[in-house]
Copies of this chain bind each other. A is one copy, B any other.
Amino acid sequence: MGEPTNFQWECPLPLRSHRHVVMGHGGGGKLSDDLIRHLFLPAMGGGNDAQTDAAELMIGDRRVAFSTDSFVVRPLFFPGGSIAELAVNGTVNALAMMGAMPLALATGFILEEGLPLADLHAIARRLGVAAQAAGVALVTGDTKVVERGHGDQIFINTSGIGLIPAGRRLHPRRIQPGDQILVSGEIGLHGVAILSVREGLIFETVIASDCAPLHTLVATLLAAAPATRVLRDPTRGGVAASLNELATAAGVGMVIAEGALPIPEGVAAACEMLGLDPLYVANEGKLVAIVAPAERDAALAALRSHPLGRHAACIGQVTAGPAGLVIGRTPIGGERIIDLPLGELLPRIC
């Protein structure tokens, strides 16, 4: 395959010496970042704010958030959810992290020839249930089919529109030294749930994905802590990737108290067995909030008052620098650098 001209592409900056797409380009880490910064943005033109998961547009006098995500998770069904709940909640959460209330979703299906219609029906039904639970309308869609062996059962793209209430200002540039870093609950559940079913691992208890729509949790948080700087949902690359992106975007440092991380026992056991770090494992129903120091306690109380934020915790704080450096402090006083992952521990986690 090639473009029908004798076009020779010169890489503007080395893409870590790859000449072809590798799995890590979809992992939400350094390789994804390279692709966005050094290939997509220069080639497709600006307009993108690479620091947010969704775009903000003015339509009349309304602030509108607009987001898109494709879902390629394997397996399609897993403890706690399926590709359908991910497709709805993933886009709802991308909008929610902009402070937006989700309004409408559009679904694009790429089906592989041979997919049982019963599976497609189960997925469609779950999409409907998840959308209703999130209070968002499925307003339009598209279906394409590719030949057997040229797809993988079903891929779902979900794009969404949300409304950002007046006065909300969430952006990494608002982060300041001294700000407090919160997570809304126990981390690592989605990644471990996927991994356990994919690898056929049996743990003492079934670990279920935390997949959930976060917009009402966000509304509760922002009502109590209106100076909140920025929100992120730590999906691919986990909390570590979200913190690194924010620290880099804001030009600040961060120090995390590793003992304060809410890690469920099952996730800790699974990660120890598999040699994974829970900070890098994907979540689908958690948020990271950077809040003003004076609002920390109000923010924590608000999060904990919501069913999806019962285990919220303050896990660290923002420092003056070095810019982009995230440090983990262990309870016994050790320090380590929590780096941006190169790719993804587990491909096709969402």
Q: Which residues of A contact B (CB under 8 A)?
A: 1-4, 7-9, 11, 15, 18-27, 32, 35-36, 39-40, 43-45, 47-48, 53-55, 57, 59-62, 64, 66-72, 75-77, 79, 82, 103-104, 106-122, 124-125, 127-128, 131-132, 137-147, 149-153, 155, 157, 159, 161, 163, 347-348
A26 touches B68 (CB 8 A): no
Shortest CB-to-CB span from A124 to chain B, Å, is 4
B59 touches A117 (CB 8 A): no
B145 touches A25 (CB 8 A): yes
From the candidates B3, B26, B138, name the one contacting A145 in the complex (CB within 8 A).
B26
Shortest CB-to-CB span from A97 to chain B, Å, is 12
A108 touches B40 (CB 8 A): no
Report the Cα distance A1→B347, complex, angstroms: 19
In the bound complex, residues from chain B placing their C-beta under 8 Å from that of A71 are 144
Shortest CB-to-CB span from A95 to chain B, Å, is 11
Shortest CB-to-CB span from A146 to chain B, Å, is 5
A59 touches B64 (CB 8 A): yes
B77 touches A21 (CB 8 A): no
Report the Cα distance A107→B159, complex, angstroms: 9
Report the Cα distance A153→B150, complex, angstroms: 9
Shortest CB-to-CB span from A250 to chain B, Å, is 20
- What are 6 sample pairs from A and B whose C-beta atoms fall under 8 A apart? A9-B122, A20-B115, A36-B143, A47-B139, A62-B62, A108-B108
CB-CB under 8 A for A109 and B60, given A48-B140, A138-B44:
no
A132 touches B4 (CB 8 A): no
A77 touches B2 (CB 8 A): yes
A2 touches B119 (CB 8 A): yes
Shortest CB-to-CB span from A189 to chain B, Å, is 17
From the candidates B27, B36, B144, name the one contacting A72 in the complex (CB within 8 A).
B144
CB-CB under 8 A for A163 and B59, given A72-B110, A82-B3, A142-B68:
yes
From the candidates B39, B113, B125, B348, name the one contacting A21 in the complex (CB within 8 A).
B113
A108 touches B69 (CB 8 A): yes
